[in-house]
Structure 1
Amino acid sequence: MQLEHNFTVDAPIDSVWKALIDPERVAGCMPGATLTEVDGDKFTGQIKVKIGPVALVYKGVGTFIEKDEGAHRAVIEGNAKESRGQGTAKATVSMSLKDEGDTTTATVLTDLAITGKPAQFGRGMLSDVGGKIIDQFATCLSKKLAEPEQAAGADAEAAVAATEAASAADATPTTAVTGAPTQPDASPRTGVVAQPQEEAEALDLMAYAGGSVLKRVAPIVGAVVVGAIVFVLVRRLRH
C-alpha cells in the first residue's frame, strides 16, 4: 500500500535536512523507536508496538539509498520482523523538503508492505495512524531544532572545561602507578550508538487510532472474550 503524509517543521530547510539524514538526532522523536547502531548509510534498531493488550517488538534495518542534498530529497529502504512472531514490515520511504523561509514543509511517500496483526487495520486506518505519528514526530523535531543555541552553548562550556582539565593534568608531575587505568581512546567509536537509560515506550496503535478502530476491533475482541468465558464454563461443568 502507498501512503502520503505532509508535515511542517519550524526550522530552516538546511537544519531540517541535516537532522533527517542523521538517525541519531531524530530517532528519539519517533514514538516507540530505539536506535541501536549506525554504520554509514545503514542503521539498525527496534520499534515497540502495542495493540490493546498485545505488545509486539519489530527489529530491523534501514538504509539510505539516496541522498540528494541539492534537491533536499532522501530515500530509505527498511525491513523489519516481529521478534516473537511471523509479522513483517517492508517499506520504501521517500522524503522531500520544501523551503518556506523560517519553516520547512516535508512530504513523505511510503510504499508499505506489512503482515501480521497490524495489517488488520487496513490502508485507511494505517494512514490515519501514520499521520498522527508523523505530526508528533514533527512537533518533537521542531522543538529540538528550535534550541540549537542552547545546545551549542552547552558544548562550548564542556569544551572549555575539558581544555582546563587537560591543562591542569599537563602541569602536574606524573608518576608511574602499577595497575593505573589507561587513557581512553579519543577517537570516536564507529557504529555503536550509546544506549538510552530506558528503551522507548511502546507505540500504542489503539490510542493513536481512537474510537474508529475500536468499532472495527471490538467485535474481534468481544468474540475472544465470549470464547474464553464459554471455555471456562465448560471446564467447570465437566468437573
Structure 2
Amino acid sequence: MIDVLLGLQENEPEYYTDDIIRGMMQVLLSAGSDTSAGTMEWALSLLLNNPEALVKAKAEIAKNIGQAKLIEESDLSKLPYLHGIINETLRIHPTAPLLAPHESSEECTVGGFDVPQGTMLLVNMFAIQNDANFWAEPTKFKPERFQGLERKKEGYMLLPFGAGRRGCPGEGLAMRMVGLALGTLVQCFEWERVGEEMVDMKEGSGLTMAKAEPLLAKCRPCPTMVKLLSQS
C-alpha cells in the first residue's frame, strides 16, 4: 500500500504529501488491524465464558467443512452460526463504540429535535446495541439471535460499521478476515480458560474498545487436526 501511495505521489505530489500518506497508513492500521484483532479477542473471550457456544461452532465446522482441510474464505457462507458469533460479539463489545463524528450540512429536524447547520453528532452505537428496548436479554451472549438473518440488516439496531454512504468501507473485508481467523482457531484447537474463574470482560480505554485485561487462555491442537497442521 505504501508503494502504491508513493507511486501516486510522483504524479500528484501536491496531494499525496508525506503527511497525507502517513495519515492514510495510520487509519489503515488502526481501523483495519487493531479493530479486527480486538474483535477476535472479544469473541474468543465470550466463547470461553460460554463453552456451549464454542461446542456448537466446532460442530458446525466439522459438519460443513470436515477435518481434511482448513477453512477457506469460500466456506464462510456455510457457517451461519460462526457468523452469528461474530455479529453477537460486535453487538455486545463493538471495538468502536462511538461512530465516526457526523456534521449536519444544513438545518434539519430529526425525531422532533431541531438540528442547526454545522451540528456535530456522535452516535452512541454501544448504547443502541445493548438497549433492552430493542434486544431481548441484551447482556446475554446469544449467537442464535442472528440465525436466519444472515442476509438481512437489523435496521438501525446493529451498527458496528455504521450505515449508509458513510458506513465503514472495510465491512466486507473485516467480516471475512475475522470469520476466517476465528473459524480457523476454533477448527484447529481446543480452548480452555486458564482457571475456574470466568474471563474478565471489563472494557479498557482508547480509540478502539480493547479489553482491560488481555485474554490469557490455554489451547492445544485438536487430535484430528494435528496431521493437517503439521503439513501447513
TM-score (norm 2): 0.30
Which is richer in strand?
A: 1
The structure carrying a bigger helix percent of its residues is 2
Q: Taking structure 1 as the reference length, what is the TM-score of the superposition?
A: 0.30
* Greater C-alpha Rg: 1
